[in-house]
A and B are shown apart, each in its own frame.
Chain A
Amino acid sequence: MNIYRYLNKKQDSSSLAIFRLGFGFLMLYSVIRIWSKGWIESLYLLPSFHFSYLGFEWVKPVDNYTYLIFLVCAISSFFVAIGYKYRYSVILLFLSFTYIELMDKTTYLNHYYLVSLISFLMIFLPANASYSLDSIIRNKSFKLIPKWNIDTLKLMICIVYFYAGIAKINSDWLLEAQPLKIWLTSKYDLPILGNTIFQMDWIHIFFSWSGMFYDLLIAFILLNKNTRPFGFILVVLFHVMTAILFPSIGMFPYIMITCSIIFFEPETHKKILDRTFAIIKNPLNKIKSIKVYNYRNTKVVQTLMIVFFSIQLLFPFRYFLYPGELFWNEQGYRFSWRVMLIEKKGFTEFKVVDSETSESFYVTNDKFLTEFQERQMSFQPDFILEYAHYIGDYYNKNGLNNVQVYAESFVTLNGRLSKRFIDPNVDLMKEKRGFSNKKWITNLEDEIKGF
């Protein structure tokens, strides 16, 4: 019974400890960063309207208490890092961070989703088994933990990379080198490279192909002990490059670099930790070391993991259920590790019609949306629909009767000349939000081959 032997395998707990430290402090830094840039105010407090995820309309910023949510998130990150009241802290971190993410869809980022998933996984992992404040307080630490604990984290990272790689196997990315052609050409201001090689077609192609191979293969390079050091250098170089080229991806490179530390051998983790903790060696040494950490309800947790990863493996392919071009209609685009794949810009205005007097006028978006929200709304169909309903409800309440809302929407995708995006004859007030196919999105009338 291989599977049982595998499930009973143990591994040194320092691997989880080092991951916990890295992840916790990185999250603490993320929250401080968002706070210090004034984004809590500009993204969550200033807008009068927020784009919600279906079913999570009740998750909204709560005036100045929003700061409190960020504070909870920061403190729980810190507690996770030092391993204090770990289980409670990591649950709080998961809840507060996920709440923040659900407040407004405008700020959706794949790596924020990853953070939510990882913090969810960590709820079920004994990451405070050693090198933690908890173990000092309880005066016991566990030397070994189940090997599958570590493997869940590795699997999560592998899925992210591999799926991001699969998503790059498409004709826009590989044959047209889009959107990298647009993005790299616009980096003309980088020293030395910017206005020289970044302007060259073959470089765009080269970056596209190597990006695809990197994403597809890096997980395997990291998993193999022999290629691992080389792989980790690749990880660092790759993400450092993306950080320089694309400042708007924010924390993504640092999160991925930190996460991939988990791939190293437990002995390496232990060595790093022991050296780092050499300063406070004394209290840690005195702790009674218990050999093996045992779950109280292993079966439940293991079943949960199987369900969790089954969903993770299948969910990104839900776009097969929708007709039309994924990059155009974005039905099933999010939560699928499609990273840096499309350059899209839209221009969308709405016509409001009073169906009784048949008077009509166009709405100026900046009356309701911030510039950032308007930019994101303009090319994403679910945003357009939600906002259309918001406008319609607003004017129904403010003197008009039985309002109809029509969209004048034009979008450019990966350098294609812009074209009409939404059927201008469809009253969006009559279209329900939901997961069913949005027939009112036009066809791209161009085929992007591949995944």
Chain B
Amino acid sequence: MKNLYIKILLGILIVVSCSKESDEMINQSISEVDQQISSTDSSNTTSGTTTSGNSSTNTSSGTTSTNTSSQNETFDRGTILSNYSENIIIPRYTIFKSSMDNLKNSIETFKSNPNSDNYDLLQNDWIDAYKKWQYVEMFNISKAEEIMYNLKMNTYPASKERIDNNIDIEQSDLSNPNDWAAQGFPGLDYMMHGIAENKDAVIELYSSNSKYGNYLSTLGNLMSDVTNSVVLDWSSYKDTFNTSIENTATSAFNMMVNDFVYYFEKGLRTNKIGIPAGRFSSLPLPEKIEAYYYSKNGFGNLSKTLVLEARQAATEFFTGSNSEGVKGPSYSSYLDYLETEIGPTVETKLEEAKVRLDNLQDNFITQIDDNNTLMLLAFDALQTIVVNLKTDMLSNFNIAVDYTDADGD
């Protein structure tokens, strides 16, 4: 008898000791199964993209979440990812890429012919692309993460010294991390609104010295190149993304959750409002707003528009809405499935944050000088959302982070 027990136990122990290695194998086999499943269900979601209004109209009636939670015992997280990639991420990249193409063209036009009309064209395209950019900045995954797309596109404040120097020495290789603040949208902002204090003076510089046009063109080409490579990557990465739903530190599902939370905290809350409002320093730092030179030299104001667009982008992502407001499976509906009140709570707070942001002046520099309290109130409105995302949402998703023995025991 005892021998038998011992043999059984040894057998079990061997199985366990192998289970560490076999974890990965299990995951692989899951994703194979998932691929089969999702190839069937992505076929109906892809049909959803072509007739996107149609496939989700039944869910768009606003009761998406309650439907899923009450009728199903299970939830297919793959549907969140395919909704995200097919109805939000890829369409948003497509929209951004076309704005980026326009911007690149108008840069070349202005470079070869720096006049007032071409300047206006360039400025309009810069504003348009900068707004569209707000909808893709949070997708820091796959190629975007690998090439540090975000940092190359939108590290602000721009470094005046670095750019002046780069123009002067006609630097075209901007791969050094110190050059992140010398390129992208903030770089263009400086090249259009910072090198001189008014439009005529800026145009004059471009007409008299080809170094400016060359650097402008370098920036346009770099932004266009990295954008193209990220967009291209998504056409192949999409299938991997849609099926990578395991609860592991490296699955697309978990990385995307972390990206979203990170973006909301740092990219939106901290960078756009917190730092300029002086929340992380003794004094406010208005020179750290997004699109600083545009406001500073009186060309116009964009910072408020950009933060509102970013809030809108985060809202759409959280609720799984495409650009037409049609909703699909999302973090919000998953939180409903998990029988929590977090989804509606966050959605309400996102609306309250919009009100706080709407209350701000268009010009953040004067807003900070005149009445920084309103900036701080807007910060608090975003802060309370960060709390829900980082504690409640992450707790209920129980997202696996890189394993250190911890948590619980």
Contact = CB atoms under 8 A, between A and B. Distances in A.
B109 interface: no
Given A183-B398, A229-B1, A412-B395, A418 B387 contact: yes
A271 B1 CA distance: 14
Task: Name the interface size band of chain A.
Answer: 35 or more
Interface in B67-109: 73-77
Contact of B405 (A42, A109, A190, A361): A109
B2 A188 contact: no
Interface stretch (A284-292, A341-349, A441-449): A341-349
A372 B404 CA distance: 8
A187 B75 CA distance: 12
Interface centre among A39, A364, A410 (most CB of B within 10 A): A410
B239 to A, nearest CB: 18
Contact of A191 (B30, B73, B340, B407): B30
B179 to A, nearest CB: 24
A364 B280 contact: yes
B391 A107 contact: no
A195 B74 contact: yes
Contacts of B279: 361-362
B406 A340 contact: no
B405 A251 contact: yes
A418 B391 contact: yes
B340 to A, nearest CB: 7
Given A345-B390, A372-B406, A412-B391, A236 B74 contact: no
B282 A250 contact: no
Interface string B273-284: 010001111110
A62 interface: no
A111 B409 contact: yes
B309 interface: no
Interface string B376-409: 0000000100111011101111110101111111
B245 A340 contact: no
Interface centre among A187, A188, A371 (most CB of B within 10 A): A188
A233 B397 CA distance: 33
A182 interface: yes
Contacts of A196: 73-74
Contacts of A306: none
A188 B5 contact: no
B395 A343 contact: yes
Contact of A248 (B245, B395, B408): B408
Interface stretch (B9-17, B53-61, B316-324): B9-17
Given A189-B245, A195-B74, A244-B19, A182 B405 contact: no
Contacts of A339: 408-409
A189 B30 contact: yes
B369 interface: no
B124 to A, nearest CB: 36
B74 A182 contact: no
Nearest to A418: B391
A186 B397 contact: yes
Contact of B5 (A229, A359, A371): A229
Interface centre among A244, A248, A253, A341 (most CB of B within 10 A): A248
B341 interface: yes
Nearest to A112: B405
A187 B400 CA distance: 10
B341 A417 contact: yes
Contacts of A357: 282
A267 to B, nearest CB: 9
A43 interface: yes
Interface in B13-62: 13, 15-16, 19, 23, 26-27, 29-30
A233 B5 contact: yes
Contacts of B27: 189
B338 interface: yes
Enumerate the 4 nearest inter-chain pairs by beta-carbon distance, A residue then B residue, closest first: A250-B405, A186-B398, A189-B246, A359-B282
28 contacts: A109-B409, A179-B408, A186-B247, A186-B398, A187-B247, A189-B245, A189-B247, A233-B5, A236-B9, A236-B12, A240-B16, A243-B19, A246-B409, A248-B403, A250-B405, A252-B409, A253-B16, A343-B398, A359-B282, A359-B283, A362-B274, A363-B280, A410-B391, A411-B391, A415-B395, A417-B342, A417-B388, A417-B392
Given A185-B338, A361-B281, 19 more contacts: A107-B404, A110-B409, A111-B409, A182-B395, A182-B396, A188-B74, A188-B247, A189-B30, A229-B5, A232-B9, A233-B5, A236-B13, A243-B19, A247-B403, A248-B408, A347-B390, A360-B282, A408-B383, A411-B391
Interface of A: 39, 42-43, 106-107, 109-111, 179, 182-183, 185-191, 195-196, 199-200, 229, 232-233, 236-237, 240, 243-244, 246-254, 257, 268, 271-272, 339-347, 354, 357, 359-364, 371-372, 375-376, 408, 410-412, 415, 417-418
